[in-house]
Amino acid sequence: MNFNEIFLFPFEKIKKDSDIIIYGMGNVGKCFYNQITSIKYCNIIATADKAANGYKEFRYNVIRPEQIQDYIYDYIVIAVASAGSARKIQNELTSIYNVPKEKIIFTPNRKVQVCLSNTDLTNWLNSVDVMKNELRVFWLTRVGNVNYFANIVECIHKLKAEHEKKKIEEIKRYFKDYLYTDDSVKNKIVILRIMYMSDCFDAELMELFVKCIFQLDNYESRIWMVYDLSIIEGNEQNCRYQNYYIDKRKLMDENVSHYYNMEVDSKKKSDNNRIAIVSFTLGNERSSHNALIVPYANEMARQGREVTIFPMDLLRYRYGECFIQPLVPLEQIAENFEWIHEELFIPCVKIVYNQGESIKERICNLINCLIEYNPYVVYDFCGEYSFLSPIICQRFYTVALPIRGYASSACFDVYMCRDKQICMKENEYYHSIDTEKMVEALVCTYPQQSKEKYKRQDFNIDKNAFVITTVGERLRKEVTAEFVDCVCVFLKEHEDACWILVGEKINNYIYEYYYELLQNEQIIEWGFEKNLQEFYAICDIYWNPNRMGAGGSIVTAMRCGLPIVTTDTPSDVLPRLGVENTINGDYNDCRKYVEELYNNRKLYKEKSQLMQERMKISSVKEYVGKLLEVGEEGKNNLCL
């Protein structure tokens, strides 16, 4: 859900006091639920979601779709943002669960602004006193919810969309000057958040943000702010300054030492067969952590190791818990998905779910459980969320597996980089990884398994259309105005082409400047897609913006034979794709390549076959073999 908007419930289509089921408990479903319960408009007899078991500790009474037939209701309200996803759900409800069409309600993307500050951007820029007063009101009334300043953010977004570069630079300078004069650390963090939400964040602001976190005396808030730091760095690669990773590592070191005695004589010497995998999360099925952990843990167990997974689960946000609402409040915990884990992992893979109410209790619980388990190696899958790595690495031989990028704030003995040359080049600047600690291994995952077959006619897509797709959970940030403009030029020149955006939050710039393409479905909001391998069967090419992530979605597209259109900017997928198969240029050069693929069927087939061949370079078994080899080396060295 965008920071200044909520999804409006379809009141006009549903009679007051009706009995309803809300289908979908993501952001839209929760918006609908809160609106209805706050005014008691109608009776929510249940909510439905395919991931119902993941909500077992929540208040929503979530059922699985097949349980709908057990209820008597007047309407089922589809609560998703994407019209494409809604069509798919409607088809399932009528064809599989026998729900009458007239009882299914869906209204596409109706968003309204709420909880805005009373002053506009002009007032802020004309008077520092006005800004300070608004901050004072904010702390009194909003309990840290920065959405209060959404109108300020919206004004800045509008200026950016209108390409008012000079004005944007003046605004950034104004806010930066203010940040250097205000003595309140919390005020500074609010202004920094506003700048980030306005897409005005840069390396100077990132450095100020890190300094502010160091000044906080509340360590629960510090840990939440380090989490925000990781979110920002993942979305804004060019905001990293030279000492960013070193400073963040110091922050994590201080945070952990506040909660746990860091003193230790040496690493644990373990003459056993035990492997520990530490993950940041093990709940959200969309997470790249899961996409890597599941096949690797299973393969390690198949190769004779005793494997136990320790989901970190430090952060379980409740409203008002931190002085400012986190960028991505976490609600779900790994234990809620135990039923899914039983399906994903082979029986001999164990999971130790983190216990404790407070952050301190959960930190101590995880470390104590690791010490009791006493593994000979810890594989850290947390990436930039390795908040406990300073203490884990002191006690155990630790191998870090990056989730994204080629630099790291984690502590480790070995860093398994995808490409050593890129890693070395990045670290000439960031100095976050010693060359001696780098080991190169090309990441590989199993293909997704699905019995479902996607057909274009099921989604009202013409069989002869040229279908472009871009997939990612951070599309609002990564699909920039420049990238959108370039893709939309191609769409306007080719009426038989369409662009499917797979992800829940696409850039507002598309709504403002290309709404007609959304209306005629040349641009399609798809929402989250679980079965990417089947989805790619209805696509022709994958067009990728300059970004670090999305490696998982791209390698799946390659496995399906989709030509990948991307620049040679360093990214997670570059080692797998090969720099020779990228575009040495900008987005306009990418558009010319798309034009070639559109016009030249022979070239298209060659590139499609090449993508599939590139996916045969390595296997999960080979990659896991390398991981185990590195772990054994550490074990042997510790025992010397």
pLDDT, tens digit, for every residue of 406-422?
999 999 999 999 899 99
Q: Which residues contact 169 (CB under 8 A, 6 or more apart)?
A: none
| Rg of the chain on CA atoms, in Å | 25
> How far is Cα 78 from Cα 548, in angstroms, rounded to an integer?
33
Tokens of 349: 């893979």
In the predicted model, what is the mean pLDDT of residues 150-171?
87
> How far is Cα 264 from Cα 202, in angstroms, rounded to an integer?
38
Give the tens place of pLDDT for each residue, 345-356: 999 999 999 998
Range name among 37-46, 238-247, 381-390 with the lowest pLDDT average: 37-46
- pLDDT at position 265 is 60
CA distances (Å), origin 193, targets 122, 136, 411, 482, 526: 19, 16, 27, 23, 28
Alpha-carbon torsion angle 504, 510, 515, 518, nearest 10: -40
Cross-strand bridge partners of residue 299: none
> How far is Cα 430 from Cα 86, in angstroms, rounded to an integer?
45
Range name among 174-188, 273-287, 423-437, 619-633 with the lowest pLDDT average: 273-287
Q: Residue 312 class from Cβ within 10 Å (0-12 exposed, 13-18 middle, 19+ buried)?
A: buried
In the predicted model, what is the mean pLDDT of residues 255-281?
84
Which stretches within 283-358 are classed as H helix?
288-302, 338-344
Tell whether the model's pLDDT for residue 375 goes beyond 60. yes
Tokens of 132: 């300070």
- pLDDT at position 3 is 42
> How far is Cα 266 from Cα 318, in angstroms, rounded to an integer?
38
| b/e burial code for range 267-293 (CB count within 10 A of at least 16 → b) | bbebeeeebbbbbbbbbbbebbbbbbb
In the predicted model, what is the mean pLDDT of residues 353-373?
92
Q: Which residues contact 315 (CB under 8 A, 6 or more apart)?
A: 223, 224, 227, 326, 330, 359
Q: Do 377 and 631 meet the contact criterion of CB atoms below 8 Å apart?
A: yes
- The 8-class DSSP code of residue 402 comes to -
Give the tens place of pLDDT for each residue, 553-611: 898 999 999 999 999 988 888 998 999 999 999 999 999 999 999 999 999 999 999 99
| b/e burial code for range 448-458 (CB count within 10 A of at least 16 → b) | beeeeebeeee
The percentage of residues in the chain with a pLDDT greater than 90, rounded to a whole number, is 51
- Highest mean pLDDT among 323-327, 427-431, 527-531 belongs to 427-431
- pLDDT at position 63 is 87
> How far is Cα 419 from Cα 412, in angstroms, rounded to an integer?
18
Phi/psi of residue 275, nearest 5 degrees: -115, 135
Q: Which residues contact 147 (CB under 8 A, 6 or more apart)?
A: 3, 4, 114, 115, 325
Name the maximum alpha-carbon separation found in the chain: 76
- pLDDT at position 469 is 97
Instruction: Strands of 401-559 (E only): list them.
Output: 414-417, 438-440, 466-471, 497-502, 523-525, 541-543
DSSP sequence for 514-539: -HHHHHTTSEEE----S-HHHHGGG-
Tell whether the model's pLDDT for residue 232 goes beyond 70. yes
Q: Do 555 and 573 meet the contact criterion of CB atoms below 8 Å apart?
A: yes
- pLDDT at position 266 is 66
- pLDDT at position 430 is 93
Q: How confident is the model at residue 108 (pLDDT cuts 50, 70, 90)?
A: confident
Tokens 């609908």, residue?
Answer: 32
**Mean of the per-residue pLDDT values for the chain?**
87
Tokens of 181: 């004069």
Tokens of 117: 């500050």
Range name among 41-50, 216-225, 332-341 with the lowest pLDDT average: 332-341
Q: How confident is the model at residue 4 (pLDDT cuts 50, 70, 90)?
A: very low
